Amino acid sequence: MRMRNEKAIGIFIVVAGVIILLGKLGVFGFIGRHFWPLLILLPGIALHALYYARLSPSWSLVPAGILTVYGVLFGITNTWGAGLMTRLWPVLLLGVAVGLLEFGLAERRRPQYVLPGGMIIGAVAVILLGFTLLQTGIIYVLAVLLILGGVWLLLGRGRRGTGW
């Protein structure tokens, strides 16, 4: 009995020493700095897996979608720089939209405002993302769209004679 206790204490001391050594070498700081978005992404994926394994209700897809999108977003900004968040902030809205759309499509008794709300939030997020990604270049896109629309109207849209 005494031999077992000594072995357990010896193993505990060795493990404590290894943990302290790894901490002093910066291993845990490196892992924390570079892989923290996984703490958000993995629960989202796990909630998806639980739903598709029929172990959780359909409403769990709302946080699953949000966590998954946010985990990917924070992984991207963590890898390529937090400065990207100035352009990718509409993805935060997109995460909510994805969660609502997943829930609305999965629920049998389709909640009345979930799908339209998710679509509206998603559309706003995509439009804002387009504006932030194009920033000053959006005026050129708008100008080209106006020119194309005017040419389309001038050429008569096929001239079928149906009027407006």
pLDDT at site 160: 60
pTM for the model: 0.69
* Spatial separation of the C-alpha atoms in residues 49 and 8, rounded to whole Å: 38
Q: How far is CA 11 from CA 4, 17, 90, in A?
A: 11, 10, 50
Q: Domain-by-domain residue ranges, the chain?
A: 11-158
Mean pLDDT of the chain: 86
* Spatial separation of the C-alpha atoms in residues 16 and 27, rounded to whole Å: 15
pLDDT at site 99: 95
Kindly report, residue by residue over 112-138, the tens digit of the pLDDT: 899 999 999 999 999 998 888 777 566
| Structure tokens, 84 | 């990207």
Q: How far is CA 151 from CA 53, 83, 137, in A?
A: 53, 40, 22
Residues 6+ positions from 108 with CB-CB distance below 8 Å: 58
